[in-house]
Amino acid sequence: MPSQPTPRRRFLKESVGLAGSAVFAAAAVPLPAALSGSNENRKLKVVCVGGHPDDPESGCAGTLARYAELGHAVTIIYITRGERGIRDKSLDESAKIRSVECESACKIIGARPLFFGQIDGATELTRVQVDAMTKLLSNEKPDVVFTHWPIDTHMDHQVASFLTIRACMALRPHPDLYFFEVNTGSQSEGFLPNTYVDVSSVLEKKKNALFSHESQDGKGVWRDHHEVIANWRGREAGVRAAEAFVHLNRENPNSQLPGI
C-alpha cells in the first residue's frame, strides 16, 4: 500500500528543523589544534590558489598568516594578475600595478607570491592548464592547499578551483584540500563550512593585506564585505573573528586544519 504523502506544512517544518541542526553542528566544530605526537614540530608546506589578486587575502589571509607565524612555508598562487581590474588601464599596466600590490600583501602575510600566467576574464580550464597546475603543485609538494569554493558566480574563481581540484587529485600523496569563501551570496554560493579558524590574533594582518590592494579599494572591500564575514564566522565559532572552510573529508566531516 503506498504511503501517505507528507503534508506540505509538516514537510517545511521538518526541513527547517534539519537545516537548523546542520548549522548548529557546523558552528560547533572545534577550532584547529597543533599537530600531536611525533609530527608536533613538523613544518608544513601550505599553498593557496586564488583567481585574482586580493582573492586569497579576502578568503583566508588570516589562516595563512597564522601558518606563517608558526614557521610553516606559505605560498600564494595567483591564477591571473588582475589585468582587467583597473578602469582606463591597459592589461599590462593593470598587471604591473596589481602584481606590486600582491607582493606587498604577501609580505604582510608572510607568504611567497607566484603567478600562474592566465589572463583576468579569459581564464581556461583545459587539459594543458590542468597539467601545468599539476606540475606547479607537484614542485611545491604541499601538505595543505586552499582554493575557492567552486560554486561561484565568477568564472575565474571557478577555473582556479577546478584547476586546483584536478591537480590535487593527481598528487601523491593527496594534500589536504580546503575551500574558502569570497563575497558569500554575491560570489560564493551554497557555502556551508565545516572548518573554522580563529583569526582574532591576526585580524590586523588580514586587514592590512587587503588594504595593500589600493587599486581595488581594499579598505572598502574589507568594510563592506569581509569584516562582516569575519564577524559572522566568528559568532558561529564562538570567537571574535574567524575564517571558515569546507573540507571534503568523508571520514571526519568536522575537520581541523593540520599544523595550527
Q: Render 81-109 in DSSP notation, one character per residue.
A: --TTSSTT--HHHHHHHHHHHHHHHHHHH
Residue-level pLDDT at 66:
97
- Please, what are the domains in the chain? 42-247 (3.40.50.10320)
Would you state the pLDDT for residue 38?
38
**pLDDT score at 255:** 61
In this prediction, residue 157 carries a pLDDT of: 97
pLDDT for residue 22:
36
**Positions in the chain short of pLDDT 50:** 1-38
For residue 190, the one-letter residue type is G
